[in-house]
Structure 1
Amino acid sequence: MTYCVGLLLNEGLVMLSDTRTNAGLDNISTYKKMFVFEEPGDRVIAIMTAGSLSVTQTAIARLRDAIDNGDEAPEQSIMHATTMLKVAEIIGAALSSVSTEIASKMERMKQAASASMIVAGQRKGGDMRMFLIYPEGNFIEATEDTPYLQIGEHKYGKPILDRVVDPETSLSDAKKAMLLSMDSTLRSNLSVGMPLDLLVVRQGACRVDEKRRIEQGDPVFAAMSDAWSEALRRSFTEIEI
């Protein structure tokens, strides 16, 4: 399983993913689930993946091939797309195609394989947008009413986002909310695990502002986790019924 979350705010975009992939209790691995495609000043596109590793890796590989061969078939390359909506359509078509191909093979072995993606970014002169793409290739978009999207094991990290995040939230507070959302998920579900990948893109920049990996034992993340646990315990004891 996995947990990926993206926030689309007035100040910009923040995305966070874990890296754990498991196929049973004795087969746990680390795989990157965040992929960034960037031409600084022109466009930046980030993709986070959840679900079948064979589906997501094949879909990403095909998107990379389309970029490498962009001069031959520019309509299939996300780096030539004229809008973020077109980017979402290209990625949705790739995910749908791969999902259908692999599902037909897995069906013969009575197994299932599906995946979903969060796609976000901005093209020069266009709006910053974020989409959740389903295995069938259709998608929904983040809005002012719901400025965040999640895929994977999302239920544990959702309450804090519902309570503290809105479009006016600063990038600094957004990072804090997302990391605490991830911390809650890490504590409640062993199928989600570190290291974590964090990405920040400022509105209108069309380039990555911050991209870093948070490893197991990171002192800042650990201190934040401890402070949050202590704050919850303190608030719990202070509430009267």
Structure 2
Amino acid sequence: MTYCVGLMLNEGLVLLSDSRTNAGVDNIASYRKTYLFEKPGERAIAILTAGSLSVTQTVIAKLQEAIDDPDATGETSIMEAGSMLAVAEIVGNMLSSVSADIQAKMNRMQQSASASMIVAGQRKGGTQRMFLIYPEGNFIEATADTPFIQIGEHKYGKPILDRVITPETSIADGRLAVLLSMDSTLRSNLSVGMPLDLTIIRAGACQISEKSRIDERDPEFMALSEDWSTALRDSFARLRDKRKA
């Protein structure tokens, strides 16, 4: 399993993914689930993936193959597409095609394979946009009313986002919120694991503003996790004492 989250804020896009993949308790590995594509100043695109690794890796490989094609067009390549909506359509069509092909093979083994993706970014002359791509290839878009998207094991990390995130949230606060959202998920679900990949695309930059990998020994994340645990315990104690008064 996995957990990926994306925020669409007025200041920019904040995206975070874990990297754990497991096929049983004794077969655990790490695979990157954030894929970045950019022409600095012209466009920046991030794709976060959850679900069957065979599906997601094939989709990314085929998208890269289309980018590298010397005859690439706006209908085939996400790096030539005329809008982020067109990018979402290309990714959705590719995900649908690959999912159907792999599922046809899996049916013979009475197994299933599916995946979902977050596609976010901005191209020069356009606005930043973020989409949730479903396994069937259809998608929905983040809006001012719902400025974040989650895929994978999302339930543990959702409460803080519901309470904190609005379009007006700063990138600094958004960065903090996704890290706390991930920490809550790491604490509650062993199928989500480090290292983490953090990506920030500032509005109007059309390039990757920040990308970093956070591992188990990262002092900032370790301190943040402990501070969050302490804050929750203290808040619980205050609420308990208030109701006793």
Q: Shorter-chain-normalised TM-score: which range?
A: over 0.9
CA contact (8 A) 1:116 1:135 kept: yes
How much has 1:70 moved relative to structure 2?
Answer: 4.6
CA distance in 1, matches of 2:238, 2:26: 42
Determine if the alignment matches structure 1 residue 56 to structure 2 residue 51.
no
Q: 1:181 to 1:129 in 2, by over 3 A?
A: same
**Cα root mean square deviation, aligned:** 0.7
CA contact (8 A) 2:55 2:99 kept: yes
State the distance in 2 between where 1:57 and 1:78 align. 16
For residues 124 and 189 of structure 1, do their structure 2 counterparts lie closer, same or farther at Cα, with a shift above 3 Å needed?
A: same
Report the CA distance between 1:74 and its aligned residue. Answer: 4.4
Partner of 2:194: 194
* 1:70–1:76 contact (8 Å) kept in structure 2: no
Shift in Å, 1:201: 0.7
The residue aligned with 1:66 is: 66
Provide the residue aligned with 2:5 in structure 1: 5
Contact 2:72 2:80 in 1 (8 A): no
List structure 1 runs of 4+ shifted beyond 3 angstroms.
Answer: none
Query: Which residue is equivalent to 2:45?
Result: 45
Aligned to 1:236: 236
Q: Does structure 1 conserve the Cα–Cα contact (< 8 Å) formed by 2:73 and 2:81?
A: no
- Code of the aligned partner of 1:221: F
Amino acid at match of 1:229: S
**1:178 maps to what in 2?**
178
Q: How does 1:146-185 map to 2 (within 5 A)?
A: 146-185=146-185
CA shift for structure 1 position 216: 1.0
Shift of residue 72 of structure 1?
A: 4.4
> How many percent identity over aligned positions?
69
Instruction: Compute the TM-score of the two structures, normalised by the length of structure 1.
Output: 0.99
**Matching of residue 206 in structure 1 with residue 206 in structure 2:** yes
Change (3 A) 1:227 1:93: same
Q: How many Å apart are 1:73 and its aligned residue?
A: 4.4
Contact 2:49 2:117 in 1 (8 A): yes
Q: Is 1:92 aligned to 2:92, yes or no?
A: yes
What is the CA distance between 1:19 and its match in structure 2? 0.2
**Amino acid across the alignment from 2:71:** D
Report the CA distance between 1:71 and its aligned residue: 2.5
What corresponds to 1:31 in structure 2?
31
The aligned amino acid for 2:17 is: S
Q: TM-score, normalised by structure 2?
A: 0.97
Distance 1:72 1:237 in 2: 60
Residue-by-residue CA offset, 1:88-147 (whole Å, 9 max, x unaligned): 000000000000000000000000000000000000010100000001000000000110
**Deviation of residue 75 (structure 1)?**
1.9
Q: Conserved in 2, the CA contact under 8 Å of 1:70 and 1:77?
A: no
Q: Secondary structure at the match of 2:155?
A: coil
Q: Distance in 1 between matches of 2:220 and 2:36?
A: 24
Structure 1 contact 183–225 (Cα < 8 Å) conserved: yes
Count of residues in correspondence between the two structures = 241
Q: CA deviation at 1:217?
A: 1.6
